[in-house]
Amino acid sequence: MASASVPGSSTQRPPWEAIVAVAAVVSLALWPVEIREAFGLPAHPLIIHVPVVFVPILGLAVLALAFNARWFDRFGVLVAAFSVVTLAATLLAVGAGEAFRKERLRDFPELVNDPTLHDHADAGITVRLAMVILTALVVGMLFAKRAPTAVRIALRVLAVLFALTAIVFVIRTGHLGAKLAWGDDQLRVR
């Protein structure tokens, strides 16, 4: 006797790809959020540690999956979900950075022409954009399993490029932020 799959039965697999895709879109609602404080401290220096750690891990995972189709079949949904979490953390970190910058410029107007501060902000914006595109590409790869080979290859190549971009710019942003906090041309966390 053949068994039929009944909607809602325990044998039916949840649509993880669709869930991750919806989560990616919903995470974009965090774009305008500017958290100023967390536990009585400036939020930006606290929140940035999540993308500083997660972006390179995600980038390396995307590189591994882009070059091994079997790994993508096995871990693609997990990496896409991790990409959504990393995107959300990045959006919150950049928003907190924008709030922190406004506060510092209000308190220290002489910083308005600080090139390191502007470079740090621009690099953070680049990380945010790279993460939005990278997440879209990784989620897109989930849905392109039956697409023509050229489309799948194009998605992989773009994912590799944006993974590398995100890694490079999160390092650059962190370096410039450390220079601001601890270097000669400083924006002290006061």
Share of the chain above pLDDT 90, in %: 81
Total Cβ atoms within 10 A of residue 70: 8
Look at the chain and report how many structural domains it folds into: 1
Classify residue 153: in a domain, yes or no: yes
Section 81-102 average pLDDT: 97
Task: Specify the 3-state DSSP secondary structure of 189.
Answer: coil
Choose among 76, 81, 73: nearest CA to 23: 81
Residue 189 lies inside a defined structural domain of this protein? no
Whether residue 11 is contained in a domain is answered as: no
Look at residue 4 and tell me if it is in a domain. no
- pLDDT recorded at residue 46: 92
DSSP for 34-58 reads ---EETTEEHHHHHTHHHHHHHHHH
Q: Are strands 41-42 and 37-38 parallel, antiparallel or unpaired?
A: antiparallel
Q: Is residue 29 part of a domain?
A: no
Q: Which residue has the tokens 């096995």?
A: 74
Cβ neighbours of residue 76 under 8 Å, at least 6 residues apart?
65, 138, 141, 142
Q: Is residue 41 part of a domain?
A: no
Q: Which domain holds residue 142?
A: 16-24+51-182
What pLDDT score does 182 carry?
Answer: 86
Q: Does residue 76 lie within any of the structural domains? A: yes
Indicate whether 136 belongs to any domain.
yes
Task: State the pLDDT at residue 90.
Answer: 98
What is the pLDDT at residue 77? 97
pTM score, whole prediction:
0.88
How much is the pLDDT for 187? 47
Question: What per-residue confidence (pLDDT) applies to 189?
Answer: 47
